[in-house]
Structure 1
Amino acid sequence: MAHEFLVKDIAFQAGLSIATVDRVLNGRPGVRKQTELRIHAAIRELEKQQAGIEVQGRKFGIDIIMEAPDRFTDTVRDAFESESLTFLPTIFRSRFHFAETMRPQEIVQLLDRVRLRGTDGVVLKAPDVPEISAAVARLEQSGIPVVTLVTDLPNAPRTAYAGADNRAAGETAAYLIGERFSGEPAIVLATLSSSRFRGEEEREIGFRRTLRNRYPSIGIVEISEGFGRDEATGALTAEALSNHPGINAVYSIGGGNRAVLAAFAAADRTCAIYVAHDLDAGNLDLLRAGKIHFVLHHDLKADVRTVFRAIISRRGALAAPGGARLSAVEVITPYNIPLSLR
């Protein structure tokens, strides 16, 4: 039996004598089958332990590629830098490639450059388009794990997805807004940064379906392609308010909340309920000030830990990652802000 362990270590692991283990390893008769199985199991356990030792203290260089507003990528950077410390002595060194807007071809070129240069893993927030899925496939075929963050690429052969159940988040927003109006007519402004992101699309689908099924008196006006940037999002909001005088609520799927609120103020319009996503610094200030009423939050740091575990697993950890574990969606008010953010 091929192995790299001392006989005494196998004996200790199996709880048997050195002589018994030596007899089995050298194929001599006189040992019960059950005892042989114990020795085989002991060697497998030692192999697992050895794999864990090899992973500890290793250095992983990973590339984080995201198209997102600066206020969100700042939060992502903080999460990766803080959570990497919880994996010591394993070391994660992150290379950040952030931009507020990128054309799909630019993302593809960046993914291909990273693949050719080499990396231990790629973390990706990008539009769900065929050319990006193909670039992800090339990375995976090269043995480089890709973990999608916050918004998924379900048609790409990625290693894992780390993030919330976006459809459930949209359904939650619909419930909060629907219960606020209690069957009265209302029109909700639903703001997306871009329809290219699968995560935002899933939120919008859940939101529309729940309003249609439970609150049919509530209508929706959608704006998109402001990419979460204040100037573009504010202009789209102002146009929507001018064209739809009945808008009296907001479900902010894609951010740009200060600009949306400024457009309401400039139009002298009231927003009866405002539901947003993500507890970044700007949204925390707006929540505390009562400008937005609810923030749908999921633990980004838990998502980062999922990313690290998925990459470690592909690089030789004890076991492959289990089924998808979506982050829980929490409804945050000014009264239950997480202690770590107060």
Structure 2
Amino acid sequence: MKHPYRIREIAAQAGLSEATVDRVLNDRPGVRESTIREVRQAIADLDRQRTQVRLAGRTFMIDVVVQAPPRFSASIRAALEAELPGLRPATFRARFHLLDGPSVADVVTVLDRVARSRSEGVILKAPDVPEIVAAARRVPTPLVTLVTDLPASRRITYVGLDNRAAGATAAYLIHRWLGAGDGDVLVVRGRSSYRGEDERAAGFRAEMPSFRRLFSVVDPEDSPETVAAGIREVLAGAPSIRAIYSMYAGAGGNRTVVSAFRDHPYDVFVAHDLDEENTALLRQRKLSAVLHHDLRTDLRRACHAIMQANGVLPGPIRVNPSAVQVITPHNAPPVEF
């Protein structure tokens, strides 16, 4: 019976004496079959628990690089910090690099600094542009993309929402709620360099019937004033708009969108991410639904992938995007998180 354990370890796991375990391991006579099974079970249990032994006392220093409005960056920080205790017996230490401006150069600078540091993993949310992809490829440690993917970056996995399915879900809900009658749709999105938004847009267009016209407002610089002015301009020329799909709540959040529609009633408003603001808007019936994914689950998967890449957790690293959760006013959590 081959095994890598000391007799003392097996005896403690099985609740038997060391002498009994020694007789079983050396195929000596006079041992009951049930006792042999107990020893085999103890060895199997120790095999499964070797991962915990390898993790005990191991500290992983990771860097979290996020380019996003402060509201979303804060959600990522809070979600990861809430998950860290559950990763024990391993210990994770996180350095946060939270960038709220649109500068590609700032992201590249941070990634190059991280590449020179002692880090055992990087979690990255950034636009899919050549300069950032090149900088991500220079990072020597395992890199996980979060929420929006950079498939050319040699990342070990992507964690986050299935964005194409989310866009299709938004189109399905909006079309069903509007019914067969008239009603066009305004799409609000951020900078077009985020692959996640491109995938949401593709899924949305594929599912939305062609007779509904789609109008768009882009938030190029996370400016609520720009978004509000753009919405008012579109509404002035398209009074047929009865629904809103907000792919990405920029600096002004969805309250900016609601405010811009103050003099133009709408029937449906579908948004993303169940933050405190969107929860309040849901309960006020300003939003019809929020397409949600659990950031804590995403970040837990990211940390597990980093441990797998470092050889301390077994199993292959897979890309397994989060399923879309549809939150309405009826299943929204309390506003006070």
TM-score, length-scaled by structure 2: 0.84
Distance 1:228 1:281, change over 3 A: farther
- Give the 5 Å matches for 1:100-115: 100-115=100-115
**Are residue 236 (structure 1) and residue 233 (structure 2) matched?**
no
1:8 offset after TM fit, Å? 5.9
Once the two structures are superposed, residues 294-339 of structure 1 have per-residue CA deviations (whole angstroms, 9 ceiling, x without a partner) of: 1111111111111111111122323144432221211111111247
2:182 paired residue number: 185
The one-letter amino acid of 2:202's match is I
What is the letter of the counterpart of residue 228 of structure 2?
A: G
**For 1:205-228, what per-residue CA distance to the aligned partner results, in whole angstroms no more than 9, with x for missing partners?**
0001111xxx22211112223455
1:62-73 equivalent positions in 2, closer than 5 A: 62-73=62-73
Find 2:286's aligned residue among 291, 295, 304. Answer: 291
The aligned residue for residue 314 of structure 2 is 319
Paired amino acid for 2:314: A
1:86 CA drift (Å) = 1.4
Asked whether the 8 Å contact 2:99–2:107 carries over to 1, the reply is no
CA distance in 2, matches of 1:294, 1:228: 23
Check whether the contact 2:166–2:291 (CA below 8 A) recurs between aligned residues: yes
Distance in 2 separating the partners of 1:53 and 1:330? 36
Distance 1:51 1:180, change over 3 A: closer
- Does the CA contact (< 8 Å) of 1:10 and 1:21 recur in 2? no
Distance 1:164 1:131 in 2: 24
One of 217, 220, 223 as aligned partner of 2:214: 220
Q: Distance in 1 between matches of 2:206 and 2:124?
A: 28
Which of residues 157, 160, 168 in structure 1 aligns to 2:157?
160
Higher mean C-alpha deviation, range 240-249 or range 81-90: 240-249
Contact between 2:282 and 2:332, CA under 8 Å: does it hold in 1? no
2:332 partner SS: coil
Matching of residue 246 in structure 1 with residue 246 in structure 2: no
Which residue of the partner structure matches residue 145 of structure 2? Answer: 148
Are the structure 2 counterparts of residues 59 and 12 from structure 1 closer, same or farther at C-alpha, using a change threshold of 3 Å? closer
Residue identity in the other structure for 2:242:
N
135 and 95 in structure 1: CA distance in 2 versus 1, 3 angstrom threshold: same
Secondary structure of the residue aligned to 2:151 is: coil
Corresponding pairs, count: 318
Q: How do residues 74-113 of structure 1 correspond to structure 2 at under 5 angstroms?
A: 74-113=74-113
User: Alignment partner of 1:218: what SS?
Assistant: coil
The offset of 1:101, in angstroms, is 2.0
- The aligned amino acid for 2:105 is Q
Structure 1: 5+ residue runs without aligned partners? 24-41
